[in-house]
């Protein structure tokens, strides 16, 4: 093993600052890391993300400078941001001469309404969670992107065919995928380790406390997939009473064994202190615990719920052409694979997945910690943040009623669950 104690210590220190990209309302986002919760916690309408009114229209696209000295980028920071710097911010500047100035943000539509003195968007590029991107795109706050401008795979396969199905958006190009996953304490299961989501609900054969996020999101999806439901059927099922009843019936089997978590670090802390045996947590934090902190944990990818972070260009950007050039550069298979070698968020290009190797400083094969790796992605569900925003109020109320007496949240309760 080539990694030394000092290297591992430095690696651990870096990961303690980040959890994952803002994806939803998660806490494993680059704030804590990118945050899926970014979009989830907001109630603004799409129109709030729209560009300035006609009287304040910025200069026409034809007036754009040919090439900027720098691009202003809003992203998530932390270890995630460091992986971006290494994989493509610094290399892009070296190749094009265009510097990248990064400002960390906390998600939401406000980042898109900020204007400079010329009434143009303050940011040339933004790293967004899917819900925020969707609302902003519907409201006309983002430029439409042409997938033909993206780099082809090494074998000539077009980007449209190389990205996993359904990942490209008319207003955004995915950079990474992150997910929730099941993690367990190996010390609790020395004779026979759990392997599937079904085992999470099997208290008889796999005894011990279970740790789940305080709220219906992630928890209800896990319950249905653990009960044998195919991932592509989950949200349709949750839209009807029969599917909801099925999910809660599954949860009933472990209700008296559940410990709820509000902050993304808590499930790993509870496992480490042996107060629980299995938990649902975010993959960035699981990786940090196993690799950086040497915790005796096992990882189960079955029934993972994944989400994306996407690059987008604010409508009216002064440097749209250069921003698109950056997106094409940063989403090549090689650059995506390089980022995944520094941080365990997965590329969503098929050709990129084949290029992921070991972490550059620690002797760890990163592919097995990547949500989108072939073996890990077999029973994965893409989290639908917009579905939760449109349908979640009733389920939050139902969840609060079900968990009454367990100090569960009411329908308006908020936590850091979605801030990975």
pLDDT per residue over 381-416, tens digit each?
A: 999 999 999 999 999 999 999 998 554 443 333 444
- Displacement of CA 112 from its chain's centroid (Å): 20
pLDDT of residue 35: 35
The helix (run of H) or strand (run of E) holding residue 392 is: helix 385-402
Cα gap 113→44, rounded to integer Å: 12
Burial of residue 91 (number of CB atoms within 10 Å: 0-12, 13-18, 19+): middle
* 207-256 pLDDT per residue, tens: 999 999 999 999 999 999 999 999 999 999 999 999 999 999 999 999 99
Tokens of 125: 């590029």
Question: Which pLDDT value is given to residue 367?
Answer: 96
Tell me, what DSSP letter sits at residue 97? S
Dihedrals phi, psi of 103, to nearest 5 degrees: -120, 130
Determine the length of the chain.
420
pLDDT at residue 227 in the model? 99
Residue 395 phi, psi dihedral angles, 5° rounding = -70, -35
Angle of the 333-342 helix axis to the 320-330 helix axis, nearest 10: 70
Give the Cα separation of 137 and 50 in Å (integer).
Answer: 8
Alpha-carbon distances, residue 3 vs 341, 361, 370 (angstroms): 15, 7, 20
Classify residue 152 by burial, with Cβ atoms within 10 Å: 0-12, 13-18, 19+. Answer: middle
**Rounded CA separation 173/328 (Å):** 9
Q: Looking at residue 417, what is its pLDDT? A: 41
* CATH fold for the domain made of 17-176+308-368: D-Maltodextrin-Binding Protein; domain 2 (3.40.190)
Enumerate the domain spans of the chain.
17-176+308-368, 179-306+379-402
Encode 274-295: b = buried (16+ Cβ within 10 Å), e = exposed. eebbbbbbbbbbbbbbbbbeeb
Handedness of CA 338, 342, 347, 353 (dihedral sign): positive
Do domains 17-176+308-368 and 179-306+379-402 share one topology? The answer is yes
CATH superfamily of 179-306+379-402: Periplasmic binding protein-like II (3.40.190.10)
Question: Which letter, b or e, does each residue of 319-334 get, where b requires 16 or more Cβ atoms within 10 Å of its Cβ?
Answer: bbbbbbbbbbbbbbbe
DSSP structural state of residue 9: H
Q: Which residues pair with 298 in a beta bridge?
A: 184
Q: Which residues contact 262 (CB under 8 A, 6 or more apart)?
A: 213, 214, 415, 416, 417
CA angle 171–172–176, rounded 5-degree value: 165
Ramachandran bin of 228, using left for φ above 0, alpha for ψ from -120 to 50, beta for the remaining angles: left
Q: Are 192 and 37 in contact (CB under 8 A)?
A: no
User: With a cut of 50, which residues of the chain have pLDDT below it?
Assistant: 1-62, 407-420
Distance between CA atoms of residues 107 and 121, nearest Å: 16
What's residue 23's pLDDT? 31
Cα–Cα distance, 63 to 151 (Å, whole number): 26
**Phi, psi of 203, rounded to the nearest 5 degrees:** -70, -30
Would you give the distance in Å from CA 222 to the centre of its chain?
Answer: 17
Does an H or E element contain 336, and which? helix 333-342
> Between the CA of residue 152 and those of 93, 311, 357, 416, what are the distances in Å?
21, 17, 21, 38
CA-CA distance, 224 to 390, in Å (whole number)?
20
Q: Please tell me whether residue 112 adopts helix, strand or coil conformation.
A: helix
Q: For residues 335 and 327, give the distance between their C-alpha atoms in angstroms, rounded to a whole number.
A: 11
């Amino acid at each position: 093993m080539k990694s030394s104690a000092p290297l591992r210590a430095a690696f651990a220190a870096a990961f303690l600052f980040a959890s994952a990209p803002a994806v939803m309302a998660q806490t494993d986002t680059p704030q804590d890391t990118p945050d899926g919760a970014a979009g989830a916690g907001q109630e603004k309408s799409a129109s709030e993300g729209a560009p300035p009114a006609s009287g304040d229209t910025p200069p026409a696209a034809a007036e754009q400078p040919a090439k900027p000295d720098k691009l202003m980028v809003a992203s998530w920071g932390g270890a995630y941001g460091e992986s971006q710097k290494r994989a493509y911010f610094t290399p892009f500047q070296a190749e094009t001469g265009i510097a990248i100035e990064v400002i960390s943000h906390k998600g939401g539509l406000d980042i898109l309404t900020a204007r400079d003195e010329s009434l143009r968007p303050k940011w040339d590029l933004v790293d967004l969670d899917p819900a925020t991107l969707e609302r902003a795109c519907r409201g006309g706050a983002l430029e439409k992107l042409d997938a033909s401008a993206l780099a082809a795979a090494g074998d000539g396969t077009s980007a449209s065919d190389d990205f996993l199905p359904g990942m490209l958006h008319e207003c955004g190009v995915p950079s990474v995928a992150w997910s929730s996953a099941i993690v367990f304490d190996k010390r609790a299961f020395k004779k026979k380790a759990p392997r599937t989501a079904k085992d999470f609900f099997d208290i008889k054969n796999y005894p011990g406390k279970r740790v789940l996020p305080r709220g219906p999101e992630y928890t209800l999806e896990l319950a249905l997939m653990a009960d044998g439901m195919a991932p592509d059927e989950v949200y349709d099922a949750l839209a009807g009473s029969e599917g909801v009843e099925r999910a809660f019936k599954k949860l009933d089997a472990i209700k008296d064994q559940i410990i709820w978590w509000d902050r993304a670090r808590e499930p790993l802390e509870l496992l480490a202190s042996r107060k629980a045996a299995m938990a649902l947590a975010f993959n960035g934090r699981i990786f940090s615990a196993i690799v950086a902190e040497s915790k005796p944990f096992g990882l189960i990818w079955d029934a993972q719920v994944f989400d994306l972070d996407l690059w987008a260009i604010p409508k009216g950007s002064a440097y749209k052409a250069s921003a698109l050039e950056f997106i094409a550069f940063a989403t090549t298979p090689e650059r995506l694979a390089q980022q995944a070698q520094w941080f365990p968020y997965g590329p969503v290009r098929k050709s990129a997945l084949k290029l992921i190797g070991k972490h550059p400083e620690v002797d760890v094969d990163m592919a097995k910690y990547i949500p989108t790796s072939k073996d890990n992605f077999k029973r994965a569900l893409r989290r639908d943040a917009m579905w939760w925003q449109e349908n979640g109020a009733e389920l939050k109320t139902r969840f609060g009623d079900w968990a009454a007496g367990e100090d569960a949240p009411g329908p308006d309760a908020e936590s850091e669950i979605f801030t990975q």
